[in-house]
Amino acid sequence: MNTHTVDATPSTDIFSSTFLIGNVGAPFVIGLAVGYFAKKMLRTALFLGGAAIVLLFAAEYYGVIDITDEKLQHAATAATEAAKSSGGFLVDRLTSITSKGISGVGGFFVGFKLG
């Protein structure tokens, strides 16, 4: 009689702490930090942009410059497109950290919510 033993344990235990920290925990923390930073920078950029617009309005009021609504809307559209492209870049980069990319992107959105 010929008996063969079969090893039923998988080569990688997905519930081991080594696997979870390397493939889920660390990318999540990286995404969390990037999302938190992105939200803080967005708030800072909006604050500075608002301050610049108020200064432009004050300069227009005192006759120093002349601002048209079309130019102001064009500048706002350009700034919005720049913010969208940088946000997309961050999410794309976070998806490449692990094979699935879910934990990094999940961490990004949690960090963005917390920020």
Whether 17 shows a pLDDT value over 80: the answer reads no
Query: Angle, nearest 10°, between helix axes 69-95 and 26-61?
Result: 170
Is the pTM higher than 0.95? The answer reads: no
pLDDT for the residue 59: 92
pLDDT for the residue 62: 93
Residue 68 CA to residue 2 CA, distance in Å, equals 89
| pLDDT tens profile 40-92 | 988 998 899 899 889 989 999 999 988 888 988 998 898 888 878 877 887 78
Compute the mean pLDDT over every residue in the chain, rounded to the nearest whole number. Answer: 78
